Amino acid sequence: MKTTLSMDRICEAAIRVAARDGLLAMTIDNVAKEAGISKGGVMYHFPTKEQLLTGMMQHFGERAELMLMTRIAEDPEPRYRWARAMLSFLFPDPDEALDVAADETDAGLSPNVLRQFKLAVLAAAANNPGLFEPMRVVGQRMRDRLMSDPEEGLEQLLVWLTVDGLFLWQFVGLMKPDDPLFQRVGKALKERLAEKLASESPAKPRRRKTVKRPARSA
C-alpha cells in the first residue's frame, strides 16, 4: 500500500510540474522537489524519465476516468449524464468551486490541473506520439461504454468530440478560456442538452443503469 501511495504521489507531482512548466521541462529533479522527496526516492520507483513519463500518463488516464465516472455516478438524472460530466470539466458551474477545492485536497489534482496537463501533452506529442498510448486505452474503454447506449450514445459522443475540439483550439491559440466565445459555446452545449431532455416524452421512463466508479489500480 505504501508503495502505491508513493507512486501516486510522484505521478501527481509530475502532472503538476508538466501542467505548470510543460512536459519537456519536466525532470526527475523538479518532480522530486514538487513531491517533497529525494531524487533517489523517485528513481526507486521510476529509474528513468521515460518510465516516469509512462507512469505519469497511466496515472493521468486513471485519474481523469475516475473523476468522470464519479460525476456520472452522482448525477441524479440518468439521461445524457455522460455529456454533462464531460462539459463540467471545461465549463464548471459556479457552485462547483467547492468540488474543485475538495479534489485538490483529496488527490492533489484539480480539474484545472488536469486540463492544463492535457494541453501540455498535446504540445509534447509531436515529438513523442507514444505519450498518448495510455490515454488511448482509457479513451477506447470510455468510448465502448458510451456507445453501448443505442439511444443517447451518439449524441453524447458528439459532445465529447466537441470538448476535445475545444482543447485543440486552445492548443493552437484559436480560443482561450477567457474568450467570450468560449463561454458562449459552453452555454449553447448545455442548453442543447437541456432542450433534448425537455423535448423527450417522460411517458416511458428509462431504467437507470448503474455506473460503477473504476477502481484505482494497486
Q: Assess if residue 38 is contained within a domain.
A: no
**pLDDT tens string 38-81:** 999 999 999 999 999 999 999 988 888 888 899 999 999 999 99
Say if residue 197's pLDDT is above 80. Answer: yes
Q: Assess if residue 46 is contained within a domain.
A: no
Q: What range does the domain containing 151 cover?
A: 55-199
In this predicted structure, what is the pLDDT of residue 101? 46
The percent of residues above 70 in pLDDT, for the chain, comes to 83
Q: Where are the beta strands (DSSP E) in 52-195?
A: none
The Cα–Cα gap between 218 and 213 comes to 15
> With bands split at pLDDT 50, 70 and 90, how would you rate the model's confidence at 106?
very low
The Cα–Cα gap between 54 and 101 comes to 27
Q: Domains in the chain: how many in total?
A: 1
In this predicted structure, what is the pLDDT of residue 31? 96
**pLDDT tens string 180-190:** 999 999 999 99
What pTM did the predictor assign?
0.77
Q: Assess if residue 41 is contained within a domain.
A: no
Q: Assess if residue 205 is contained within a domain.
A: no
Cell numbers for 2, please give them.
505504501
In this predicted structure, what is the pLDDT of residue 215? 55
Q: Assess if residue 48 is contained within a domain.
A: no
Please classify residue 96 by burial: count the beta carbons closer than 10 Å to its beta carbon, then call 0-12 exposed, 13-18 middle and 19+ buried: middle
Nearest to 176 by CA among 99, 116, 101: 116
Q: Assess if residue 100 is contained within a domain.
A: yes
In this predicted structure, what is the pLDDT of residue 11? 94
From 76-80, 108-112, 197-201, the region with the lowest mean pLDDT: 108-112
Say if residue 165's pLDDT is above 90. Answer: yes
The Cα–Cα gap between 186 and 135 comes to 24
